[in-house]
Structure 1
């Protein structure tokens, strides 16, 4: 959560039933290392007490524009100037209308007129209120002004009806906040990332695979999307949820992955193949479950297509191709050979025998080798941090 660490985030809470979820968002932002200043409207205080949010944020909650203590130093202007980001959660139809019309009749709407930091609004309301032309016009106006809208989810609403209008999941709001604080260095670029294992079945219930969790590839895809890229993530079977703000393609076998990746790579400026693709598959897959008996079972394996080598062979001018190498010995030698043989620009090599490295871990220990002969060794870091550093390296490579 490095993008939020040390940042000043204003959280505006307005008067909707989803206001109670703002408490958890404040807790998550503080956990990420952000300094959080909460502003509550009078209506919001009917659903949630300022004391709750003050306890979670560690700062007095701003509520009264005419409070002599709060405004002794023109507090609303100070709050606006000190903010790195503003998140309005939930954003009611009433507050959206005030924002669109420039009305400043409470602490929050006054700050919103003075703030220069990025603003995120998270609408939550009855589905008919959301669909009303006035609300839709107000949202369109805010979008034109550069306000980021976190679209509400669909489901059961407080009124008992079903439809769009639920506050978006907090993980989506948090990811939007991180993206708003990330320099858009990949704006206009198309990025393709592969992740996870592949499954190669030999009957309907059994398959050959590896322990890849997909965490490294997912972290890379999410970081590229934060930097403004249009990202396609092609992933084998994992338990990870689809990251927000990008397109996820879920496949099963190596041949499935090859088909999807080959098509998407045609338009990609950057291709990062972080998937642990099975090198072999059973020559035949039984149509029914193979029953256990007293005989030994022999399965003949055949080679899967080498997706990365195929991409290297057909690499487009200006396209950057990045591969991964998981090794148990001769790390640099094997990775260098793979880099050259497959026409890569960069390869990320990790020794699976090292503590904190390899499959299913939240951390990794890698060496990054480039086509110019450079080798950078990264210590044990979170896969999220490795993704950030790797994309920094890739961007500098593209500038050479």
Structure 2
């Protein structure tokens, strides 16, 4: 069941380990006895996994501290980031200390940003506990906090020293969170791999049931695809932008409704369909492919209709703050066929509004 791969970034390359019971296996953390660690986690994850991780580390000669913050996207803030930094300072952690992010995407992003900033950079390890973080946010070194005006607007590209993925963590994941993670999984098929998309159509039920070998292959394949993109464009100057399919629309939903009301994957699900509709309006995508994507999202128990309380126009101010905007003009990642996307410059607001109204 154990699978490993490497994110190849020259002297900053790092391993990803995927398996069962990896969270309590010292070998995969690439630590040395005598090192000091701060484990950052949240109130939901702490009682589930913090004791076993702490015990394993201390039995192997690692001195540990921990910080427990509230759970939820609404806490992906400067205040939470500051709590982590303050804990590092109060416990006299040095540049040789290592920060371990134990949790989902919020913990990984905030802890990674804290590691990037503390004493101008300390090492950190990602231990993702949600499907979304295992297939996406823990890999690639994007770290950030949210701002009321925009998601992930304050952060840094900062790579971990390792990623340790334990499939058993998914057993405690609520079904809604599991489905949210599948939105990012489906995204990989749409942007990069038509064969994987077809595999998902045939195996989505097994993923929802957490069938171990199916889930192991799924996570490994998504990490492999992302690692290839990150290795070619670490700081999103070009190709890495394709990983944002559906995110420009989805981030608008999250920001407008208040972070945490719609899960990130739920917003991305609807955003993928909006992007597909925009591509169709521009003559780049077919109705039959839209239906394939929509049907797969429905099978994954994801939303396929926009929030009724949001007008199409309410998306625009948020989308204009997207990081891909150049000179005030919208740039969108749009599919041309299942398995291929392009970044389209200067998409008209009329097309954007129509694509929103169609969902």
TM over 0.5: no
Q: Which has the higher helix share?
A: 2
Q: Which has the higher strand share?
A: 1
Higher relative contact order (CA 8 A, sep 6+): 2
Instruction: Please report the TM-score for the alignment, with normalisation by the length of structure 1.
Output: 0.26
